[in-house]
């Protein structure tokens, strides 16, 4: 069963340069899956939280391209909080974990890579349903 211990911060390459810094991420290298989708979250008003849900199949890789925010992951038994505040760190989140994004700083920009195309059926949006699916070993 997937647990919060499977969530990993991955340090990305960085080329520090007086002209400006550069980082990159490659699929099946730094990002441990094939990327089928990219999306980004921006203009988050102060105090808002996003992403209270789990995915059955979709794995994610999240980068704070700008600013900072917290990603809270929860496997039904344990929770962990990861603060992303550098654009050369990515957070790998396997499928079947509840995750929420919160404490967005002003002008923060979250870039997310997904292993699956968008599919509403892949979401578990009720925390009670998530706990039951976990307890029954269905996700
Ligand atoms: P959602 O995943 O619920 O946002 P968050 O996890 O940040 O709270 O997505 C919000 C809306 O955007 C939802 O109606 C579905 C739509 N959406 C897509 O159509 N395609 C996508 O790739 C994503 C991530 C969301």
pLDDT tens-digit map of 104-115? 999 999 999 999
CA 75 to chain centre: 14
Nearest to 77 by CA among 92, 91, 96, 94: 96
Q: Give the pLDDT confidence score for residue 35 in this predicted structure.
A: 98
Distance between CA atoms of residues 90 and 84, nearest Å = 8
Predicted confidence band at 74 (pLDDT cuts at 50, 70, 90)?
Answer: very high
Q: Give the pLDDT confidence score for residue 27 in this predicted structure.
A: 97
Cross-strand partners of 15: 22
Whether 65 and 25 have beta carbons less than 8 Å apart is answered as: no
Residue closest by Cα to atom 15 of ligand 1: 120
Atom of ligand 1 nearest to the CA of 101: 7
The pTM (predicted TM-score) of the whole model is 0.96
Residue closest by Cα to atom 25 of ligand 1: 118
Predicted confidence band at 124 (pLDDT cuts at 50, 70, 90)?
Answer: very high
Q: What is the mean pLDDT of residues 5-22?
A: 98
Question: Is 100 near ligand 1, meaning CB less than 6 Å away?
Answer: no
Question: Is 90 near ligand 1, meaning CB less than 6 Å away?
Answer: no
Distance between CA atoms of residues 137 and 139, nearest Å = 6
Cross-strand partners of 9: 91
Predicted confidence band at 54 (pLDDT cuts at 50, 70, 90)?
Answer: very high
Predicted confidence band at 68 (pLDDT cuts at 50, 70, 90)?
Answer: very high
Has 30 been annotated as catalytic? no
Predicted confidence band at 73 (pLDDT cuts at 50, 70, 90)?
Answer: very high
């Amino acid at each position: 069963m997937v647990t919060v211990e499977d969530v990993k911060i991955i340090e990305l390459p960085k080329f520090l340069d007086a002209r400006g810094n550069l980082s990159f991420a490659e699929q099946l290298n730094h990002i441990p899956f094939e990327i089928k989708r990219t999306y980004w979250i921006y203009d988050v008003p102060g105090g808002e939280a996003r992403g209270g849900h789990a995915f059955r199949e979709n794995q994610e890789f999240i980068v704070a391209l700008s600013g900072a925010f917290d990603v809270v992951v929860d496997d039904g038994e344990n929770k962990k909080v990861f603060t992303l505040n550098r654009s050369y760190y990515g957070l790998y989140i396997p499928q079947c974990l509840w995750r929420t994004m919160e404490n967005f700083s002003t002008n923060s920009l979250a870039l997310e890579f997904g292993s699956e195309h968008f599919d509403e059926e892949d979401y578990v949006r009720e925390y009670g349903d998530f706990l039951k699916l976990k307890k029954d070993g269905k996700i």
